[in-house]
Structure 1
Amino acid sequence: MAELTALRPAVRPGRRQAPAQAASVPAADMPFCRQLARLAVRSLYAELVLYPKPGLVSLVDNGSHADMDAATFMRSMFALRRYFFDIARAGMEDAPFHVLKGLGIDAEARMMRATGGINTHRGAIFCLGLLCAAIGRCRAKGTVLRPAAIQATLLICWGRELGAHSGDVDVQSHGTEARERYAASGAREEGARGFPSVFGIGLPALRRALAAGLGLRRARIDALFALMAHISDTNVYHRGGPEGAQAVRRQARAFIARGGSAAPDWEERALACHRSFVAARLSPGGAADLLGAVCLLQSVCGGLE
Structure 2
Amino acid sequence: MAASKDAGAGIAGIRDGQATAFSRSLARLAVRSLYAELALYPKPGLVSLLDNGSHDDMDAATFVRSMFALRRYFAQIAQAGMVDAPFHELKQLGIEAERRMLRATGGINTHRGAIFCLGLLCAAIGRCHAQGLALRPETIRSTLVERWGRELAGHSCNAGSRSHGAQALLRYAASGAREEGARGFPSVFAVGLPALRRTLAAGRGMRLARVDALFVLMAHISDTNVYHRGGLEGALTVRRQARAFVARGGTAASDWEARALASHRDFVAARLSPGGAADLLGAVCLLHAVCGARH
TM-score range, shorter chain: over 0.9
Match of 2:3 in 1: none
Mapping of residues 119-134 of structure 1, within 5 Å = 119-134=109-124
Preserved CA contact (<8 Å) 2:10 2:291: no
In structure 2, how many angstroms separate the alpha carbons of the residues matched to 1:304 and 1:133?
22
Q: Does 1:291 align with 2:281?
A: yes
- Which of 220, 230, 255 in structure 1 is aligned with 2:245? 255
In structure 1, how many angstroms separate the alpha carbons of the residues matched to 2:12 and 2:142?
23
Instruction: Return the letter of the residue paired with 2:273.
Output: S
In structure 2, how many angstroms separate the alpha carbons of the residues matched to 1:176 and 1:71?
27
Give the % identical residues: 75
In structure 2, how many angstroms separate the alpha carbons of the residues matched to 1:29 and 1:122?
26
In structure 2, how many angstroms separate the alpha carbons of the residues matched to 1:164 and 1:172?
17
Instruction: Return the letter of the residue paired with 1:235.
Output: N
Match of 1:4 in 2: 11
Mapping of residues 1-305 of structure 1, within 5 Å = 3-8=10-15, 10=16, 28-305=18-295
The alignment's TM-score, normalised by the length of structure 2, stands at: 0.96
> Gapped runs of 5+ residues in structure 2?
1-7
Deviations 1:27-61 (A, max 9, x none): 82211111000000000000000000000000000
In structure 2, how many angstroms separate the alpha carbons of the residues matched to 1:50 and 1:67?
20
Q: Let me know the Cα RMSD of the aligned residues.
A: 1.1
**Which has the higher mean CA deviation after the structures are superposed, 73-82 or 258-267?**
258-267
In structure 1, how many angstroms separate the alpha carbons of the residues matched to 2:37 and 2:14?
22
In structure 1, how many angstroms separate the alpha carbons of the residues matched to 2:12 and 2:138?
20
| Structure 1 position 4, deviation (Å) | 1.8
Preserved CA contact (<8 Å) 1:6 1:31: no
Preserved CA contact (<8 Å) 2:159 2:170: no
User: Counterpart of 1:5 in 2: which secondary structure?
Assistant: coil
In structure 2, how many angstroms separate the alpha carbons of the residues matched to 1:97 and 1:170?
18
Instruction: Return the letter of the residue paired with 2:149.
Output: G
| Structure 1 position 180, deviation (Å) | 0.4
Preserved CA contact (<8 Å) 1:174 1:234: yes
User: Counterpart of 1:4 in 2: which secondary structure?
Assistant: coil
In structure 2, how many angstroms separate the alpha carbons of the residues matched to 1:143 and 1:304?
15
In structure 1, how many angstroms separate the alpha carbons of the residues matched to 2:206 and 2:87?
34
In structure 2, how many angstroms separate the alpha carbons of the residues matched to 1:287 and 1:247?
14
Instruction: Return the letter of the residue paired with 2:214.
Output: L
